[in-house]
Structure 1
Amino acid sequence: MELTRKKKTLHANEAESERVKKLRSQDWTTIREVCLKDLVFIDETGVNLAMNRRYARAKKGKRAYSKCPDNRGNNVTMIGAIAPTGILAPFRNCL
């Protein structure tokens, strides 16, 4: 039958209910009234400066070596806002 084992892609079965379909339709009606120039998208990300890869490549039978900071390092948080007119507010914070 030429079937192979695959990981399933799941979705909520409630998404197909009449109540959710009606709510989705109402949301689209509201979104259509919003002007594109009024939209602002905000995103946040963070990183720790002491992060290091835990795996590496080495010849078979040999150990992979690397260096990394001994202390925990600083956390860096970055937040940005973008609109159709361009970038509005890049922000970086070291904690």
Structure 2
Amino acid sequence: MISLSGTNWAIAIKNTVVASEQQREDVAIAREQWQAWQKTCDLSKRLFLDETGVSTAMIRRYGRALGGARCQDAAPAGHWQTMTFIAGLRADRLTAPSA
């Protein structure tokens, strides 16, 4: 039984899961090397890719209404569109936008 009083409450219900591969020796060595390299890399030469998107099919699936009343909403009738945007982020600018 979980106690909801005192400071043990947050510890009792939080479950942090990590990949079991992190316990392997070869993976641990590779992670240490990667972390050491990160401290010396030149961020001005790095490019981070980001992807985001939106769809007109994204509608609310749940709602609230007064007791006995039906919750209604409107959505496009099958004319759904999807837009994806990919961009490259550098330390000093945004580059390579593509839709």
Report the TM-score, using the length of structure 2 for normalisation.
Answer: 0.74
Question: When the two structures are aligned, how many residues end up with a matched partner?
Answer: 92
Which of 13, 24, 32 is matched with 2:39 structurally? 32
Which of 71, 89, 93 is matched with 1:86 structurally? 93
Deviation, structure 1 residue 7 = 5.8
Q: CA RMSD in A?
A: 2.3
| Correspondence list, 1:42-81, <5 A | 42-81=49-88
Higher percent of residues as helix? 2
Runs of 5+ unmatched residues, structure 2: 5-11
Structure 1 match to 2:30: 23
**1:68-94 Cα deviation digits (max 9, x unpaired):** 1111411111111111102113322xx
Separation of aligned partners in 2, 1:23 and 1:42? 23
Report the TM-score, using the length of structure 1 for normalisation.
Answer: 0.76
Q: After TM superposition, which residue ranges in structure 1, 4 or more long, deviate above 3 angstroms?
A: none
Runs of 5+ unmatched residues, structure 1: none
Percentage identity across aligned positions?
33
